[in-house]
Structure 1
Amino acid sequence: MKLFRKLLFFLTPLYYLITVVRNILYDLSFYKTTKFQVPTIGIGNLAVGGTGKSPMVEYLIDLLSNKYSIATLSRGYGRNTKSFIIANEKSTHSDIGDEPLQFYNKYNNIIVCVDNNRVNGINNLLQINKPPSVILLDDCFQHRKLTLGLSILLTDYSNLFSNDYVLPFGNLREPASSSRRADIVIVTKCPKNIDEIRKNKIKNKLNLKLSQKLFFSSIEYSKSVIFNNTKTQFNNFIKDKFILVTGLASSDHIVDYLANNKCDFEHKEFNDHHDYILKDFEKVNPSLNILTTEKDYAKLIKILPKRKIYYLPITVNIDSNKLFDKLILDYCNN
């Protein structure tokens, strides 16, 4: 894959030019954008692949849902449907996508919906019987037809956007300079012991505007794994060998975590948003338990109903979380 990208290096300047011109036309109001009165918070990134958007959406749901009526609006990547859909008890990952399904299964006090056109999605949300008072938009940084009320941009600690290149040579959907559209930038998946010296070096690399707020976050793995709504202590679960099944943009973080805990496991790795089929598991040892991510859990239990499948929940810890929470709450209150 890396060699293939190097061969396509000559296309990188063209892609760069197209994205720059597109952004200039939006900045000059040549292209129409829409802004809504209802608070809209967008969580996005510059790079393709995972930077931790779903855990950040869940962090905001936990922060806001006791005070506000919340809706999440996603594209619904990988779904077989089109247009605007509100999730219900019959929804599957094929209907709404795996991440929106995760939100729906986890929270019973929010509205979960999908629409490729975010403006159309918000218009539909505002017409329902009890419209939301805050809308969280997942993966919408490049959706410039919508002017967000508050834009949160994520970048992975191990692959900062300042160290990357635009497609196809690199992983960026648009140039690193586009980060200056964000109100808040969060460096995700940081080591827990990151010090101020390292933080300042990253801050200088990112070259943010003075008005932009910078935060650092880390992943916290649960002390329990969950099977069929029943919790098992993680330390007890890992006493036996198991199979790790992941369909992520990068599995490095969870693999490193399990390795550091001296787990004995086999790893079946698939592409992000993989649509599992029985054939994927023909050569998997049927006597071993399966550990997976919360996102993949709902898909796996459908095709392997007789297997013991556990998932390991994660949460986000934000450094200076009180300041971050205040910024979010102040925006919603105003």
Structure 2
Amino acid sequence: MIKAHRRGKHKIFIGMSPGVGKTYRMLEEGHRLRSEGIDVVIGLLETHNRVETVEKAIGLELIPRQQIKMESVTLTEMDTNAIIKRQPQLALVDELAHTNVPNAEREKRYQDVEILLEAGIDVYSTVNIQHIESLNDTVAKITGVIVRERIPDHVLEAADELVVVDVTPETLQERLRDGKIYAPEKIDQSLNNFFQRRHLIALRELALREIADNIEDDLEAHEQSGYSTNLICNIHERVLVCVSTYPNSLQLLRRGARISSYMHAQLYVLFVDDPDRFLTKTESLHIETCERLCKEFAGTFIRVRNSQPLDAIVDTAKNYRVTQIVMGESQKSRWQILFKGSLTQRILRVLKNVDIHIISTSKAGSVDNP
């Protein structure tokens, strides 16, 4: 029987900037796996003369770099063919977004990594958040720096695991001042430019969000594969505002928009349209106003035809992975709530992991019956 070809697994260590410890963490993992009997080699290592990184590499086999002649000089790149010939179980490859020298076989290092993966070799690699293609414009706005070396988003999407290597901006600046990232002559310039605290805070948030997106995508794929939905959790906040024909709906919507803004959450607005009841012209115009206001807040307006509001709200919350629901206080009398229970109470019984915000407003009838 012919053994099926195995593609290598790719694990990427990602950070908000140089100096957070991605390479060190990768080497640490390499040592741990080697101690467990895994055949590990360093395919490419960029130490940038950082003492801690140099020392951490000791004890791991290093594949010599390929010598590439270019006019009167000789440059070096990762020797992909030598790694494949060596056939380790795991290759450690630093700086995934690196652009190879002109005479190299492939243009980018991530393309070399793809060859290793196709050869059945597992790869651990490193990259900074600013090197991701889709974030290039965002990074440029944050830091004023246009990053030239980038990797396509599909490289991260195809990775088997993403690990964020995180430190606080203050810790990173301290490392920089201590000379652990750049040479002394570059420290002041770096602190006044790329390594400004506000830049680092924004880049850190980008890195953490990227990992959150990746985790949630994996969980959704897991759910779609038929696995237990008990494994699914919501990484990002999502706010659902329930509007109706009551005038206070606009107040609810504005409040919900503020909550979503505070939480950096996606905003959804739901109107449950009862098929057994026709809306008056005034009510229809009111719902159109709600929809227009929702779009002004960059939200998604959802209109569902259902005679059972509870079912509609619960289904929408589940489908859109809602974490927060904004509702107005019940228009029912105390006796009605006592005997039948409020809609809010019934939702809470069904949606255990969703927070509900009850917004107190002045008592009002529908838009046709003030």
**Could you say which TM-score interval applies, normalised by the shorter chain?**
0.3 to 0.5
Tell me: higher relative CO, structure 1 or 2? Use CA pairs within 8 A at least 6 residues apart: 1
TM normalised by structure 1 equals 0.32
Structure number having the greater helix percentage: 2
Structure number having the greater strand percentage: 1
TM normalised by structure 2 equals 0.30
